[in-house]
């Protein structure tokens, strides 16, 4: 069948319009110059958390997330990594002792994952990055669970993976004393590490107080702070704004959630006491480049959904930064 010139012209116009239409549908969660993102798949609790699922949620018209703190596991799983057993966590977490059988299972799984990691080239990870970037989603921070238990070769791999994904920082939850070792690798790879804080100000290993970050930062200029302003406010009772302003060059990203003081509960945004608006407006005024990362932890109200609550958090940020 012969194609006419008119049909060719129409097809050409359609082909030219396709990239424009794609650009119009790309997500945009940068408001007032502040890049808003989310800690994923963590916030999608109770939902499928594979790499394709995460991207689908980001592109949902009600969400429109254009940047992420992405945990390494969905990335590795998408590329065929064996499943790990258990997870790392912040010091002081209450966990029942492992049985000998559980210890053996965890050790075998860790060895299998280590072997897989050290056999990988970075090409497939760059392809993974391209898939997300082409859809309009940046991977700005990559989070690794249990990285303080990694071998030296695995830590090198972790920094290489983060760079392949386009990240400007790696994040983790490890004891303060372990940041000296990790900071040396951060210097080697010239990539910042953001240490996540919780609410235990009595444990000097737990990043609950400002002095914990200051100690970690003394070990390496690449050791930085992932300031969880909800946990910080709940534990300390005051805003971290002054400290963030004084140390902004060492802040990799902030976690956004709303908690009440005196280690009070997580609340729907606007119902706790956390200075969310103050921090967001500080970031806007000072033009800080780091991500404002939604880490929604309040219970999903009856009749609502995780995505509906996330949409409310994104709108809260949009309004605060208008």
The two beta strands, 266-267 and 291-294, are unpaired
Higher pLDDT, 293 or 14: 293
Give the start-end residues of each E strand in the chain. Answer: 30-31, 34-40, 67-71, 138-143, 169-172, 192-196, 223-228, 251-256, 258-259, 266-267, 291-294
Residue 114 backbone dihedrals phi, psi, to 5 degrees:
-60, -45
- With CA atoms as reference, report the closest residue to 225 among 207, 206, 204, 237: 207
Confidence (pLDDT) at 84 = 77
pLDDT of residue 94: 52
The reply to whether 4 falls in a domain is no
What pLDDT is attached to residue 3?
42
Total domains present in the chain? 1
**In-domain check, residue 262:** yes
What is the rounded average pLDDT of the residues 23-50? 93
Domain containing residue 308? 28-320
The band of 195, judged by pLDDT with boundaries at 50, 70 and 90, is very high
Q: Which tokens in the block code for residue 176?
A: 């303060």
Percent of the chain topping pLDDT 90 = 80
In a domain, 244, yes or no: yes
CB 255 within 8 A of CB 229: yes
| 84 belongs to a structural domain | yes
Which helix (H) or strand (E) covers residue 111, if one does?
helix 100-117
User: Does residue 2 fall inside a structural domain?
Assistant: no
- Four-CA torsion 180, 181, 185, 190, nearest 10 degrees: -10
Tens of pLDDT, residue by residue over 119-162, are 999 999 999 999 999 999 999 999 999 999 999 999 999 999 99
pLDDT at 188: 98
The answer to whether residue 13 sits within a structural domain is no
| Cα distance between the two ends of the chain | 55
Per the DSSP assignment, residues forming a β-bridge with 195 are 172, 225
Give the pLDDT confidence of 73-104 residue by residue, as tens digits.
999 999 999 987 764 444 444 567 889 888 88
Q: Calculate the average pLDDT of the chain.
A: 90
CA dihedral sign of residues 238, 311, 198, 33: negative
pLDDT score at 97: 84
Q: Is residue 23 part of a domain?
A: no
Q: Report the pLDDT value the prediction gives residue 95, as an integer from 0 to 100.
A: 63
- How much of the chain exceeds pLDDT 70, in percent? 89
Q: 269-305: per-residue pLDDT in tens?
A: 999 999 999 999 999 999 999 999 999 999 999 999 9
- Classified as helix, coil or strand, 83 is coil
Q: Residue 296 — φ and ψ, nearest 5°?
A: -70, 120
Q: b/e per residue, 114-152, with b = 16+ CB within 10 A?
A: beebeebeeeebeebbeebeebbbbbbbbbbbebbebee
**The domain spanning residue 251 has which CATH number?**
3.20.20.150
Task: Read off the pTM.
Answer: 0.89
Query: Can you tell me which residue has the tokens 């805003």?
Result: 239
211-250 tens-digit pLDDT? 999 999 999 999 999 999 999 999 999 999 999 999 999 9
| Residue at 8 is within a domain | no
pLDDT at 5: 40
């Amino acid at each position: 069948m012969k194609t006419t010139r008119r049909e060719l012209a129409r097809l050409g116009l359609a082909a030219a319009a396709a990239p424009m239409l794609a650009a119009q549908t790309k997500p945009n969660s940068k408001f007032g110059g502040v890049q808003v993102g989310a800690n994923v798949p963590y916030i999608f609790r109770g939902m499928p958390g594979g790499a394709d699922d995460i991207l689908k949620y980001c592109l949902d018209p009600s969400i429109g997330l254009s940047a992420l703190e992405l945990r390494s596991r969905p990335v590795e799983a998408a590329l065929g990594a064996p499943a790990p057993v258990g997870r790392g966590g912040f010091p002081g977490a209450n966990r029942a002792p492992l049985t000998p059988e559980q210890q053996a299972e965890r050790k075998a799984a860790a060895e299998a994952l280590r072997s897989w990691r050290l056999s990988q080239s970075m090409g497939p990870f760059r392809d993974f990055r391209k898939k997300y970037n082409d859809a309009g989603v940046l991977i700005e921070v990559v989070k690794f669970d249990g990285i303080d238990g990694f071998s030296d070769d695995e830590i090198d791999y972790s920094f290489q993976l983060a760079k392949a994904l386009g990240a400007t920082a790696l994040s983790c939850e490890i004891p303060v004393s372990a940041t000296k070792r990790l900071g040396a690798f951060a210097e080697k790879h010239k990539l910042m590490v953001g240490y996540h804080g919780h609410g235990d100000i009595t444990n000097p290993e737990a990043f609950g107080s400002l002095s914990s970050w200051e100690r970690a930062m003394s070990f390496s200029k690449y050791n930085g702070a992932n300031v969880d302003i909800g946990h910080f406010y709940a534990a300390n009772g005051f805003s971290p704004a002054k400290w963030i302003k004084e140390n902004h060059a060492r802040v990799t990203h902030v976690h956004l959630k709303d908690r009440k003081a005196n280690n009070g509960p997580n609340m729907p945004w606007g119902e706790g006491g956390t200075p969310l608006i103050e921090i967001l407006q500080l970031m806007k005024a000072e033009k800080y480049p780091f991500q404002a990362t939604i880490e929604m932890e309040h219970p999903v109200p009856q009749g609502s959904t995780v995505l509906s609550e996330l949409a409310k958090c994104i709108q809260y940020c949009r309004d605060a930064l208008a």
